[in-house]
Amino acid sequence: YEETETSILNHLFLPCNLPSSAETDFLIKSNHENEHVLLECFNEFLTSTTVNLTLPVFKIIKQCIQNWTVLQNPKTLCINNLQSTMKQLKAGDFFSLYFHNHNAAILIEMDKSSVSRPLISSWEISLSSTEITSNLVPRLVCFPLSQYYLKNLSQLSSKAQCELLIDFINNTLEHNQSYKSSRLFDEIRDVPVSLWDNALLPFRRSGLWMTMKVVLQTILIKNLGNFGNIVYKLLITYFLTYTIYTKQKRIDSKINVDLLIHCLRKIVRRLNKIDNLPLIIDLDTGKKWIENIKGNIEQQLVQIIPSLNWQKSIETKEQEALNSLTIDLNKSYSEIYQHSCKKTKAYLRKHISKGSNLRSSNSYSYSEKIKTNVQKKTSLPSLENFINELKYTTEIALTCVELWIEFSLESWLNDISLSENIKEAFTKLQDLFEEYQTAALKHYYLESSSIDPIGYTRFILTSLTVIRVMHQKLCADQRFERLKFHSIEIPHLIELFDFLLLPIRNDMIRVRQLYNFFTEYNQKQYPDLLHSIESLNAFGVHFASQSETMNESLRQIRAQAEQDKQTKII
């Protein structure tokens, strides 16, 4: 039963998650054997005691739908029922049949002036798959397309005619053979074509539902004129509302909230369109009927519209479950754990007294704790010490080095004042950086696995920070003041800043400072240290000319050369 109602909603409202194929939909699977259920639902709607359809035209519609429901059902379709229905048609009656195998429908109208003159019209129901995929603009079709008057009712009610109609319902027409270009050609009807033998046909909206709408609109307009168009729109809207209202009010079956919202939106859109239609109604009964139907629709909508706080209960339960699992980090752990932990406390006091680096529990994050510890260190860190002695993971060890370089490298270099110690400090810093570079590239960039983009960004920032701090330290020395006027040329460095991943604000500030520094030194008047080394403007040439040690060495070399020259002459 649930499958039936879901399928009906799919064809009436066309929600987002439609079946993947025709065979997975209840109404149209197995060659549309259950499609007649739509007619049964509409017949139930018309005969319901809660539906107030007081206009005289609805007697004609009810009789038409009742006869149609019996004959559209394959289990009740037979020659006797069809023949009996045809013979009972009287002036002003309508009768329709839907032929799925032919993608067509017929509508029989009994002329009010003469019972013996039935009017028959037929039309195509659904567009072919080719036309649907190739049409770029909406297709407009007017109904009925063609009409034919029969001489008398006996042409329809004869047994032979009834047998032919039933055969049309159950079977397709045989292929007509014709000659085209002197060749025998089979003309086949226009049906969906499958490119693979075992492929499933796609889901298509019920052709019977579209036929029902055409028949209802035709009957109403022929009986009520332009007013019939408004009645038709209200009738379909009322039926859609009735369908979801009866399902939602049933205890054993509820519509999914997302699907219900989709259906309600469609109904509200239809009501808004009806309100914007020009209403020219002379009869007071017509105006009262419209107001009455609108009132019934709105009353049913109010009862099934989800409450605005329908998620409150779910959110409350989730919050209660979360609160039961959440530990208040602002409380001290001594308040949470009540046992004494005597051995643990003795162990901690013993190691704290020895000055070991103990990682204690704090109310701030672990990364902040590492940062604080790094800032307190004045000695050069060591990856080997972090990993082997302190048993840090590679990632934590790399983070410690990166934080030390970011926050402590500059102060560490500033504490070294003696010139003989600067060279030694730079040598140690070079060893640390080479150790860090090897481990970082191995950890952040592995060809066999995915790259860590944030870690790789930290590696780049750390490397550039080392270059900047060392350069600033050298420029502060009077012997290397000339470095302030030499460029720092690193290929594609400025473009590289666009590809860095910066998750926190401090990283953005740091990158901006590095960008400004390297942009400034990318435009200096003298060349890079490793470029144009033989030029007079090269740093090495200028440094050698200003160095007393170098000049003294040159004088000694020249003196020795002159002495060797004189010795050879003698």
Return per-residue pLDDT of the chain as tens, 570 residues.
688 888 999 999 999 888 888 889 999 988 888 999 999 999 999 998 777 788 889 999 999 999 999 999 999 999 999 999 999 988 889 999 999 988 889 999 988 875 668 889 988 888 776 666 666 666 676 666 678 888 888 888 888 989 988 988 888 776 555 555 556 555 555 555 544 456 678 888 999 999 999 999 999 999 988 889 999 999 999 999 999 999 888 766 778 888 888 999 999 999 999 988 877 676 677 888 888 999 999 999 988 887 666 567 667 777 777 666 554 444 444 444 444 456 655 665 665 555 444 343 333 344 454 455 544 445 788 888 888 888 888 888 898 999 999 988 888 888 876 555 788 888 899 999 999 999 998 888 765 556 778 888 999 999 999 999 988 888 888 777 888 888 888 888 888 888 888 888 888 999 999 999 988 888 887 777 767 766 766 776 676 667 777 778 888 888 888 888 888 776
- What does the alpha-carbon distance between residue 95 and residue 89 come to, in Å, rounded to a whole number? 8
* CA–CA–CA angle 71, 75, 76 (5° rounding): 40
Query: Considering only CA atoms, which of 324, 231, 346 is closest in space to residue 286?
Result: 231
- What does the alpha-carbon distance between residue 357 and residue 349 come to, in Å, rounded to a whole number? 12
Encode 277-296: b = buried (16+ Cβ within 10 Å), e = exposed. eeeeeeeeebeebbeebbeb
Contacts of 371 (CB under 8 A, 6+ apart): 403, 407
Query: Considering only CA atoms, which of 300, 302, 288, 283 is closest in space to residue 238?
Result: 300
Domain ranges of the chain: 2-130+139-173+202-304, 364-531
Contacts of 78-87 spanning 24+ positions with Cβ under 8 A: 78/166, 79/159, 79/162, 79/163, 79/166, 82/162, 82/165, 82/166, 83/157, 83/158, 83/159, 83/162, 86/153, 86/156, 86/157, 86/162, 87/153, 87/157
Tell whether pTM > 0.85: no
- What does the alpha-carbon distance between residue 131 and residue 113 come to, in Å, rounded to a whole number? 41
